[in-house]
């Protein structure tokens, strides 16, 4: 097997502000694995603050893998890229029919300005999205409450409203903000605090369901979350947790413990988005997944990974 690497830079239309900081672009390493005239593609795009290696560490790990393709990289983002490329190569060589179908995807609202909520949420609704995720915990709690209440008023019964704190609230902040809004109007909050031991209390006192995301970085942590009963939903980012094989493994653990799963983008490029879309169709075709991120970029993405009336469709 021959492996080639190519680096790219994708630019966001507007800065995405989270509890980890502001993101304006994504540096991506595209991987091509070739054998017997067939090719498979993968993608690595580490981002600071999410438990991954740096871009240079990821590139080095993949360069070492090129020299010895029989051993997958240990670095998480690099490993995800390599595992995805290998699986796609195997699919290309097989006689298995390609993935078909469609999945609903949520819109992502990342602006920290309260004044931007109305236009961003209204645009998402007009685009046909059945769920909208609002980033929170990047400013003070009063601003968060105002933004959430504005989103609730706009969304109404047209779509599910989800929140993502990226672990940025304290326990006190999470309880204060989520108690200030009607829990019936919030479908889910991802990672309300950095400590998953807090999450059961947040759920019990506010009634808002909890989603695990950044904490799902290795099998040991997954088992701990299950043991704690910390989350009702696992938000799985294939490009973070090891590619398709690792995603299927965590999804099976979730199922056997009555935990819902969503598949989510990591502000991915087209290759990782396409792989994640196919996994979403395979693992949870009736959920609304976090894969509607192509429109956040200035760069043009292929049509099959760009939401159309709130859905991604296989060609």
| For range 282-307, the mean pLDDT | 96
pTM of the model: 0.94
Could you report the per-residue pLDDT of 162-218, keeping only the tens digit for each? 999 999 999 999 999 999 999 899 999 999 999 999 999 999 999 999 999 999 988
Instruction: Tell me which residue has tokens 């900081």.
Output: 21
Query: What's the CA gap between 230 and 263, in Å, rounded?
Result: 19
**100 vs 48 pLDDT, higher one:** 100
- Of the three residues 34, 62, 93, the one that is the final residue of a domain is 93
Q: For residue range 213-239, list pLDDT tens digits in order.
A: 999 988 889 999 999 999 999 999 999
Structure tokens at 95: 């006689």
Judgement on whether residues 19 and 150 belong to the same structural domain of the protein = no
Residue where a domain terminates, one of 93, 120, 135? 93
pLDDT of residue 67: 94
Asked if 137 and 206 sit in the same domain, the reply is yes
> Are 266 and 216 found together in one domain?
yes
Handedness of CA 124, 128, 129, 130 (dihedral sign): positive
If asked whether residues 136 and 273 sit together in one domain, one would say yes
Per-residue pLDDT, 20: 65
Q: Which of the 8 DSSP states describes residue 310?
A: T
Chain segment 101-149, per-residue pLDDT in tens? 999 999 998 766 666 888 999 999 999 999 999 999 988 999 999 999 9
Does residue 284 have a pLDDT over 90?
yes
Helix/strand/coil for 159: coil
pLDDT digits (tens, 9 = 90+) for 20-67: 678 889 999 999 999 999 999 999 999 876 778 999 999 999 999 999
The CATH number of residue 224's host domain is 3.20.20.120
Tell me the three-class secondary structure of 24-87, residue by residue.
EEEEEEEEEEEECCEEEEEEECCCCCCCCCCHHHHHHHHHHHHHCCCCCCCCHHHHHHHHHHHH
Query: Which residues does 103 contact at the CB level (< 8 Å), separation at least 6?
Result: 277, 280, 281, 285, 287, 288, 289, 291, 311, 312
Is the Cβ–Cβ distance between 210 and 185 less than 8 Å? no
pLDDT of 18 = 75
Domain count across the chain: 2
Q: What per-residue confidence (pLDDT) applies to 19?
A: 66
In 3D space, the residue among 129, 132, 130 whose CA is nearest the CA of residue 108 turns out to be 132
Q: How high is the pLDDT of residue 289? A: 98
In the block, tokens 């893998």 appear at: 65
Whether 77 and 16 map to the same domain: the answer is: yes
Do 139 and 206 belong to one domain?
A: yes
Report the candidate in 312, 305, 246, 308 with the shortest Cα–Cα distance to residue 285.
312
What's the confidence (pLDDT) of residue 217?
A: 82
Q: What is the DSSP letter of 272?
A: H
Same domain flag for 32 and 67: yes
For 246-259, what is each residue's pLDDT tens digit?
A: 999 999 999 999 99
Percent of the chain residues past pLDDT 90, beyond the cut = 84
Please check whether residue 185 is in contact with residue 160, taking contact to mean a CB–CB distance below 8 angstroms: no
Q: What is d(CA 263, CA 278) in angstroms, rounded to the nearest whole number?
A: 10
Contact 189, 171 (CB under 8 A): no
Inter-residue contact 24 to 11 (CB < 8 Å): yes
Instruction: Say if residue 97's pLDDT is above 80.
Output: no
151 and 77 within one domain: no
* Model confidence band, residue 17 (pLDDT cutoffs 50, 70, 90): confident
| CATH classification at residue 75 | 3.30.390.10
pLDDT-derived band at 16 (thresholds 50, 70, 90) equals confident
Pull the structure tokens for residue 126: 């007009």
* Domain match, 293 and 177 both: yes
DSSP lists the bridge partners of residue 94 as none
- Tell me, yes or no, whether 80 and 116 share the same domain: no
The residue among 35, 62, 93 that closes a domain is 93
State the Cα–Cα distance between residues 24 and 193, nearest whole angstrom: 24
Residue range(s) defining the domain that contains residue 49: 2-93
Is residue 198 domain-shared with residue 156, that is, in the same domain?
yes
pLDDT-derived band of residue 6, with 50, 70 and 90 as boundaries?
A: very high
Residue 150 is given by DSSP the state H
Residues 247 and 113 in one domain: yes
Mean pLDDT score, 65-90? 95
* Helix spans in the chain (H): 55-67, 76-93, 114-126, 141-155, 171-179, 199-206, 219-228, 238-241, 243-256, 270-283
Q: How far apart are CA 289 and CA 122, in angstroms?
A: 19
Count of other CB atoms within 10 angstroms of residue 246:
21
């Amino acid at each position: 097997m021959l492996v080639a690497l190519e680096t790219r830079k994708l630019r966001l239309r507007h800065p995405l502000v989270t509890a980890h900081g502001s993101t304006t672009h994504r540096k991506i390493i595209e991987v091509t694995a070739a054998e017997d005239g067939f090719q498979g593609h993968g993608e690595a795009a580490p981002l600071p603050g999410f438990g991954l290696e740096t871009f240079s560490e990821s590139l080095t790990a993949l360069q070492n893998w090129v020299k010895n393709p029989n051993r997958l990289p240990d670095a998480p983002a690099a490993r995800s890229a390599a595992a995805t490329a290998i699986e796609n190569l195997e699919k290309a060589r097989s006689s298995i029919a390609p993935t078909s179908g469609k999945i609903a995807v949520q819109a992502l609202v990342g602006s920290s300005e309260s004044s931007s909520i109305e236009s961003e949420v209204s645009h998402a609704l007009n685009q046909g999205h059945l769920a909208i995720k609002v980033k929170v915990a990047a400013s003070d709690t009063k601003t968060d409450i105002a933004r959430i209440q504005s989103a609730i008023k706009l969304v109404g019964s047209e779509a599910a409203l989800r929140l993502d704190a990226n672990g940025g609230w304290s326990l006190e902040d999470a309880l204060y903000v989520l108690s200030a809004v009607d829990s019936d109007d919030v479908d889910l909050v991802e990672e309300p605090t950095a400590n998953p031991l807090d999450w059961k209390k947040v759920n019990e006192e506010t009634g808002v369901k909890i989603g695990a995301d950044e904490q799902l970085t290795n099998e040991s942590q997954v088992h701990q979350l299950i043991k704690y009963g910390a989350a009702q939903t696992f938000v799985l980012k294939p490009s973070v947790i090891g590619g398709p094989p690792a995603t299927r493994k965590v999804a099976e653990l979730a199922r056997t413990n009555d935990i819902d799963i969503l598949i989510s983008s990591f502000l991915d490029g087209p290759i990782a988005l396409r792989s994640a879309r196919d996994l979403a169709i395979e693992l949870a075709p009736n959920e609304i997944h976090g894969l509607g991120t192509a429109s956040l970029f200035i760069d043009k993405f292929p049509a099959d990974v760009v939401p159309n009336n709130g859905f991604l469709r296989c060609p």
